[in-house]
Amino acid sequence: MKTYKVFADFANQSSPSHYLELRAWKRVYAVFLFCVMTAIASPATTTFTTLASFDGMWDSQYGSLVQGLDGNFYGETAGGGANFYGTIFKITPSGTLTTLHSFAGSPNEGGNPYGGMVQAANGDFYGTTEEGGVDNYGTVFKITPGGTLTTLHSFDVADGMSPYAGLVQASNGNFYGTTEEGGAGGCGTVFEITPGGTLTTLHSFDYTDGETPVAGLVQAINGNLYGTTAAGGANGDGTVFKITPGGTLTTLHSFDGTDGAYPDASLVQASNGNFYGTTYTSGAYGFGTVFEITPTGTLTTMHSFCSVVQNGECTDGFYPFTGLVQATDGNFYGTTYGGGANGYGTVFEITTAGTLTTLYSFCSEGTYPNCTDGDSPLTGVVQATNGNFYGTTEYGGANDLDGTVFRLSNGLGPFVLTRPASGKVGAAVIILGINLTGATSVTFNGIEATFTVVSNTEITTTVPTGATTGKIEVVTPLRTLKSNVAFRVTP
């Protein structure tokens, strides 16, 4: 049976310096652990498939996958590649893996992408690198689906440094993100950047209102942006904040350890209007939490990890490094970096009432370090339009410690999603789905729209006159597909 003592000692620290040590320790600690195999019990409807194993030229899958217009998935590795500064890759739903770009880490290009990418309405992907660029403080980049990369901005400390998180494209067409450090207060920033690369610093954190924002932002139905800082705030344990597109920031909650600490991950706004997220550590048992917070700042702890211990393992998982996704069944899905039946991470489901179910425990195939199904997922899962979930692990796979891409099915059906998630009447919208050929109707909250079927996975349309915020429906010869989230019609 393995021990978590050293790792747990890091987790119990509350200062920003210990937070940074914790991040460094997470990347290497797994080599000191060994795995005790335990049979895993999963719901009958849950099936797990390892799609691909990275092969040594890949390393550290931190950012979540994103489904592209072509139905394939796109992601990043923070290391590896031809120059060892990380890569951007494409993987088909069946598991064919292609390297699109290897970062050079030179003054003209970034290195070590961590936060994942967002596909904009123009079809290109936008993301960040933590290092590289003119001053080696990180970059914002654009890359086409074919692999042509353009550096849009290089950070210079004054406007931030080390953009650890990814971007979100807001309803105004611009992108918003955070930098881990730098800015006027030295504690990180929130920034806006146009598709052409013009960057504006909206807010510089000063510790009292948060420090080390390593998570991305989410634009809410009300048009404001919401995010977290991993440290700082009233108690030094991190915050949840709201910021307007114009830069007015409000601290909604300061964590105090009892309700969690170090919220590393982005929030998700659920269909009920509230936000859901995770804290990496603390809570009732010291191993992280899932929480709900209202737009005005009332926080409820839904689950504290390591609440169930069997055979020396936290069977419900520990250290949820990443955020959640609300699926078509209304429940939330996420991953934990450790714990589960075998101690090497989990995929879990949690209801809005707080009932958590461990769907899969990693290292169920083999023994450490030969966990052929992967171990230690550093990213969350994304629900694809076929209803399945896709994600990556930092370690494990056929090549021992190089990581994997996996698929998990929980019996959920197909749906459609849009690029972007909001827009005004007349704005261009791309609808993603499966089996879209032959579609006969597209409606925005019941209002008919004109559309063109581009491919089996893509429809182009515009927001029709009279449309209001609500679900999108697409009628196909096989079925009627609905969007998982409401499309927000802006003024």
DSSP letter string, 224-284: -EEEEESBBSSSSB-EEEEE-TT--EEEEEE--BTTBB---S--EE-TTS-EEEEESBBSS
Cβ atoms < 10 Å from Cβ of 90: 18
Distance CA(486)–CA(221), nearest Å, equals 9
The pLDDT, as a whole number, for residue 14 is: 38
Distance CA(176)–CA(168), nearest Å, equals 5
Cβ atoms < 10 Å from Cβ of 171: 18
The pLDDT, as a whole number, for residue 5 is: 28
Residue whose structure tokens are 């510790």: 207
Tokens of 107: 């003054």
* Range 5-409: architecture per CATH: 7 Propeller (2.130)
3-state secondary structure of 450: coil
Distance CA(450)–CA(459), nearest Å, equals 10
DSSP letter string, 360-422: EESS-SS-TT--TT-B---S--EE-TTS-EEEEESB-STTSSS-EEEEEE-S----BEEESSE
CA distances from 63 to 118, 216, 454 (A): 10, 10, 29
Longest CA–CA span in the chain (Å) reads 63
CB 175 within 8 A of CB 225: no
Tokens of 452: 């063109």
Tokens of 113: 């992408």
Q: β-strand 66-67 against 417-419: which pairing, if any?
A: unpaired
HSE on the CB side for 446, CA within 13 Å? 3
Domain 417-489 has CATH 2.60.40.10: yes
The pLDDT, as a whole number, for residue 29 is: 35
Kindly report, residue by residue over 329-366, the tens digit of the pLDDT. Answer: 999 999 999 999 999 999 999 999 999 999 999 999 87
The pLDDT, as a whole number, for residue 61 is: 64
The pLDDT, as a whole number, for residue 293 is: 98
Outline which parts of the chain fall under CATH 2.130.10.10: 5-409
The pLDDT, as a whole number, for residue 59 is: 55
Distance CA(382)–CA(374), nearest Å, equals 17
DSSP secondary structure letter of residue 463: P
Helix, strand, coil in percent for the chain, rounding step 5:
5, 40, 55
Question: In the chain, which residues have pLDDT < 70?
Answer: 1-44, 56-62, 400
Distance CA(455)–CA(460), nearest Å, equals 10
CB 432 within 8 A of CB 67: yes
The closest alpha carbon to 224, from 192, 203, 248, belongs to 248
One-letter amino acid at 249 equals L
Distance CA(138)–CA(136), nearest Å, equals 6
Outline which parts of the chain fall under CATH 2.60.40.10: 417-489
Edge to edge, what strands does the sheet with 125-129 contain?
118-119, 125-129, 139-143, 149-154
The pLDDT, as a whole number, for residue 2 is: 30
